[in-house]
Amino acid sequence: DAKTTQPPSMDCAEGRAANLPCNHSTISGNEYVYWYRQIHSQGPQYIIHGLKNNETNEMASLIITEDRKSSTLILPHATLRDTAVYYCIVKKGGNQFYFGTGTSLTVIP
Amino acid sequence: NAGVTQTPKFQVLKTGQSMTLQCAQDMNHNSMYWYRQDPGMGLRLIYYSASEGTTDKGEVPNGYNVSRLNKREFSLRLESAAPSQTSVYFCASSRGGQGSNQPQHFGDGTRLSIL
């Protein structure tokens, strides 16, 4: 599975869009990009995943660059409850998700 | 809609005691997983079950056993608990079978302390 690089921490004002970047320059053609978040003391929460097309669901949007070497998770209107550690994971078919250190997002009132 | 339910939420054991962690999912998923999370280590896969009746070792299986009781339930057993097994244990499930790209959905964890 390809390695991912994320900034260790970010701040976002409440009500604004939070844009969380992820670099995965060694991604291969059959690897998907997944985003999870973990709010303190809870289990990881699935947010969204995609292969090469941009994806949107009720929680967020995932923008994957054309060369697939990076992606951005967008939370359109951040709330205080979005404060969490966000993990970007690149994985092909297989059984283990490798969670790195992620980005600690703090939403500021 | 409960999703993945883990019991108990907290447990303290003495070294050498045995314990079974329970996990159940109500999403009709085929695959189920057990992870442990330690500070600074991320999540590490202990065992997984790609379908009812099958189980396979993950990255850190030593000291653990599992049982896929039916499609809904996947239990993790510590036969003789050791302080190194102090951790937060997460159960997860996914719709797909082995090698699937379907996302995994996690429970809220069992916090286990071994004294």
Q: Which of A42, A91, A96 sits opposite B58 (nearest CB)?
A: A96
Q: What is the pLDDT of residues B41-73, one digit of tens each?
A: 788 899 999 888 899 999 899 999 999 989 999
The model's pLDDT over A26-37, given as tens digits with 9 standing for 90+, comes to: 888 888 999 999
Asked if B107 lies within 8 A of A45 by C-beta distance, the reply is: no
Give the tens place of pLDDT for each residue, B3-35: 999 999 999 999 999 999 999 999 999 999 999
- Tell me what percent of the residues of chain B surpass a pLDDT of 90: 78
Task: List, as one string, the DSSP characters of B52-113.
Answer: TT--EE-S--TTEEEEE-SSSBEEEEESS--GGG-EEEEEEEESS-TT--PPPEE---EEEE
* C-alpha distance from A78 to closest chain B C-alpha (Å): 22
Residue type, B7: T
CA distance B94 to A86: 20
Mutate to test the interface with B, among A88, A95, A97, A103 (most CBs of B within 10 A): A95
Is residue A76 within 8 A of residue A61, CB to CB? The reply is yes
- Classified as helix, coil or strand, A80 is helix
